[in-house]
Structure 1
Amino acid sequence: MTTMIDIAALAALLQEAAYEEIRPRFRNLGEGDVRMKTEAIDLVTEADEAAERHIRRGIEALMPDALFIGEEAFAADPPLLAKLADADLAVVVDPIDGTFNFAAGLTLFGVMLAVVSKGETVAGIIYDPIGNDWAICEKGSGAWLCRPDGSQEQMFMRPSGPLEQMIGIANTGFFDIDQRRTILSNLAQVRLFTSYRCAAHEYRLLGQGHMDFAMYNKLMPWDHLAGALMMEEAGGHVARFDGSPYRPSHVDGGLLIAADEEAWQELREKIFTV
């Protein structure tokens, strides 16, 4: 990898934004601080916008040549996303992943950042403001859980087992109704499935060996670039539903993550037949 990335400085920036802009507003949002974007479950808060501004200022100082794409910047300027595929260097940020949970006072939210170089994700960070720790990956260097005391633990997806004993994440809300019925019926074959409405924590659970699979249909880069690279670095098999690699420019085609290719194929054939 030729792009020089100060991953420690980026991690510290996310922590700083969380401590200055996110945590003070957690369970402390005033009237008018929460607004609906596209529907009742798609929200933005003052904390999202303030944290993104904070992170953007930091990126401009740390990586002045990088294209900055934040979830809220995209909401204000949708054509911005088209620039990602051709950018020499880009930083993609979700200032609060799990805004619905955050607005409801639930602790399942995180801050996500991915670095993209010439159409390839090369680094990712998922920061937990409540636990005050980071899941960090750089391409070719593994995935690591980093704690504030400086200790680190390498992350690995757990080995796959039989389908009927698998537990995982299944986000079915963005399928049409007939596809959703089929998938929900097929999911009876696994032991347990859920959705935390927060990809940040879902990817961390996978990387720490607590889950067997995850499935997403809607792909926005701030939600999945960091996590997808993290799962690859944790030994998992990550691909779109047609088996093709997931790239930063993809916003559709679904995403399925499993411990290995054999488990991925079984899940694709028996569960996620869309």
Structure 2
Amino acid sequence: MTGKNTFKAKEINEYIVQWLHDYVTNAKVKGFVVGISGGIDSAVTSTLCAQTGYPTLCVEMPIHQAPSHVSRAREHIKQLKERYTNVTSAEVDLTPVFESFRTEVPETGNPHLLDLTLANTRARLRMTTLYYMAGIHSALVAGTGNKVEDFGVGFFTKYGDGGVDISPIADLMKSEVRLLAAYLDVPQSIIAAKPTDGLFGDDRSDEDQLGASYDELEWAMLEAEKGKTEEDFTGRLKDVFKIYIRLNTINQHKMNAIPVCDIPEFLK
């Protein structure tokens, strides 16, 4: 991908939209379903889907959501519907579903693991909802993950926001998504907001969880691809590189295909 100073927003915009258009046409479905979080990735993805001319359904799925997330999501959807007549929206309040689920499962054990597991449960309830919407509308679920999240640190929920049909921005770094968002006239409130997965019902940022910013993690991803090791760096750079390598290592199970036990022919 090109560097920030030579980012070809117009050409990349057109390329992704054509790719999306061709994919839907060949798949013989009717359009797209996109989960809208109030974040920049879902705003860019839904805009790209809308530009294809195919029906694009934007779905809000609050679960004890922070008010700032809700307001940004609604601002984006309102703007998108004003710009594209093929865009519709739906809101599915999953808070009662989530709370009902919690009453049926044990909430014991390590508090940190319980908190994390419930956060991942939110993402999986949303995935189920998106596929329900896609099913009744004969549409594809468009993923919103970017390159450093999906293939760098694995910052997504397996079978949650990682459960999608297509990934239109997964070859763009977060910094490139920001550049594309500006070109697409995504609301400035969304571009300027701290990235957050919104899975904990508060305003904690992705950086709070990861221990490094996306710009730092992008740098580490590129250095790792060059074959660098932590011994090549000192200070904050070394700390960031170690964070990236640790996350990349422990999250390989998300990024690789599901392991299959191949039975030898002589046993069949």
What's the TM-score, normalizing by structure 1? 0.32
> Which one has a larger percent strand, Structure 1 or Structure 2?
1
Of the two, which has the highest radius of gyration?
2
> Which one has a larger percent helix, Structure 1 or Structure 2?
2
What's the TM-score, normalizing by structure 2? 0.32
Higher-RCO chain (CA-CA 8 Å, sequence separation at least 6):
2
